[in-house]
């Protein structure tokens, strides 16, 4: 299988803090502004993703329409977490070298088994770094654990992948700059459009449009709501920002973008989200990685009214998930050491013979 350049340097990201939130540095780093377009030495089949999309919310909706349309036309079935999970996994990708081979073309050139293996690699790699959030998003990738993915499922997976990429998913999420990655919520339209309107109403889901969320963030930040001046203090690093009915996290995305516009780093704040819908909470968990909200993020799947301690319970679960990750890594290191020792012994035996 060809090795794809799927990830930016994840090892450079700070270790998440699932237990208690550590104190933030006194002077958080100022995030970079959207970089200027750089010259490319040789012609590229696609331009480098260095400029913001002119209508990110509209493009996100078109991606959702394309992915949902393909899923329904190709009779994908009732497991709507599959198309949502496909787009979520693709949105997690940050190409390490933007001047390298065209990642979209590489992905679409894979055969079915390679494509499925790629999706498994995306989720497993991110689980190593954020097991708490990837575990919360489990519903979006559990289908990849099926012993055998039949030909029809593989065909639909490819069709949804192709639709999302060809409608410009990487133009929204493929940036290294977090401000550009968080221009919009690409998962909310997919989730809404693959789910019937009746199912949405049954769950009480009414997702705030991204443009409305942006406007609300600006209004609150300005301290003005319906011409009533409010006393709103400037945000301070270390503060806790919470949404008890988060959906896929759209309001917090807007809040994070406003912080960046003020020269603040969202990673220096605490974030928590709660939603009763499992798929919405899973999307919020993935989005917190896409939008680079930082290590102090907790996502709970619960009824905020019936479960006032949902965030605290989610943090306890996160600690357990991190402990399990560390235990698995410890066992893997032992196994790797044993295998290395066996190889050295076999090499020594072969030389002696």
Range from 18-27, 100-109, 172-181 carrying the lowest mean pLDDT: 18-27
Mean pLDDT of 60-83: 95
Burial letters 263-288, b for 16+ CB under 10 A, else e: ebbbbbbbbbbbbbbbbbbbbbbbbb
Tell whether the model's pLDDT for residue 285 goes beyond 50. Answer: yes
Query: In this predicted model, which residue has the larger pLDDT, 75 or 22?
Result: 75
Question: Which residues have a Cβ under 8 Å from the Cβ of 201 and sit 6 or more positions away?
Answer: none
Mean pLDDT of 154-182: 95
What band does 5 get if pLDDT is binned at 50, 70 and 90? low
Query: In this predicted model, which residue has the larger pLDDT, 19 or 59?
Result: 59
* Residue 4: predicted pLDDT: 67
Ranges of each domain in the chain: 56-320
Share of the chain above pLDDT 90, in %: 60
Mean pLDDT of 266-280: 96
* Residue 335: predicted pLDDT: 85
Tell whether the model's pLDDT for residue 267 goes beyond 50. Answer: yes
Tell whether the model's pLDDT for residue 345 goes beyond 80. Answer: no
* Residue 19: predicted pLDDT: 40
Helix (H) or strand (E) holding 270: strand 270-275
* Residue 211: predicted pLDDT: 54
Q: In Å, what is the CA distance from 263 to each residue of 224, 237, 260, 266, 297?
A: 21, 11, 5, 10, 20
Condensed to tens digits (0 to 9), the pLDDT of residues 195-237 reads 864 444 444 444 555 555 555 445 444 443 333 333 345 677 7
What band does 172 get if pLDDT is binned at 50, 70 and 90? very high
Judge contact between 149 and 116, C-beta under 8 A.
Answer: yes
Nearest to 88 by CA among 46, 50, 138: 138
Condensed to tens digits (0 to 9), the pLDDT of residues 30-50 reads 334 333 333 333 333 444 445
Range from 22-36, 62-76, 110-124, 269-283 carrying the lowest mean pLDDT: 22-36
């Amino acid at each position: 299988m060809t090795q794809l350049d799927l990830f930016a340097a994840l090892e450079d990201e700070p270790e998440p803090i699932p237990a208690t939130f550590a104190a933030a540095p006194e002077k958080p780093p100022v995030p970079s502004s959207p970089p200027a377009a750089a010259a490319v030495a040789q012609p590229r089949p696609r331009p480098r993703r260095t400029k913001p999309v002119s209508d990110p919310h509209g493009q996100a909706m078109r991606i959702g329409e394309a992915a949902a349309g393909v899923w329904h036309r190709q009779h994908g079935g009732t497991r709507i977490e599959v198309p949502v999970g496909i787009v979520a996994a693709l949105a997690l990708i940050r190409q390490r070298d933007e001047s390298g081979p065209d990642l979209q073309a590489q992905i679409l050139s894979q055969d079915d088994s390679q494509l499925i293996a790629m999706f498994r690699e995306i989720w497993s790699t991110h689980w190593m770094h954020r097991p708490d959030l990837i575990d919360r998003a489990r519903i979006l990738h559990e289908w990849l654990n099926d012993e055998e993915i039949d030909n029809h499922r593989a065909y639909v997976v490819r069709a949804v992948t192709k639709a999302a990429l060809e409608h410009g998913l990487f133009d929204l999420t493929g940036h290294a700059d977090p401000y550009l990655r968080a221009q919009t919520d690409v998962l909310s339209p997919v989730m809404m459009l693959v789910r019937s309107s009746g199912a949405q109403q049954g769950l009480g889901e009414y997702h705030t449009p991204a443009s409305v969320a942006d406007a609300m963030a600006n209004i609150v930040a300005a301290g003005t709501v319906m011409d009533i001046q409010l006393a709103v203090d400037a945000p301070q690093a270390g503060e806790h920002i919470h949404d008890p009915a988060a959906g896929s996290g759209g309001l917090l995305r807007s809040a994070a973008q406003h912080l960046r516009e003020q020269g603040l780093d969202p990673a220096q704040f605490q974030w928590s989200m709660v939603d009763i819908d499992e798929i919405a909470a899973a999307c919020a968990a993935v989005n917190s990685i896409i939008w680079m909200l930082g290590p102090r993020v907790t996502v709970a799947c619960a009824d905020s009214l019936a479960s006032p301690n949902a965030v605290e319970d989610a943090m306890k679960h996160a600690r357990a998930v991190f402990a399990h990750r560390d235990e698995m890594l410890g066992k893997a290191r032992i196994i790797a050491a044993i295998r290395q020792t066996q190889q050295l012994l076999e090499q020594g035996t072969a030389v002696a013979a």
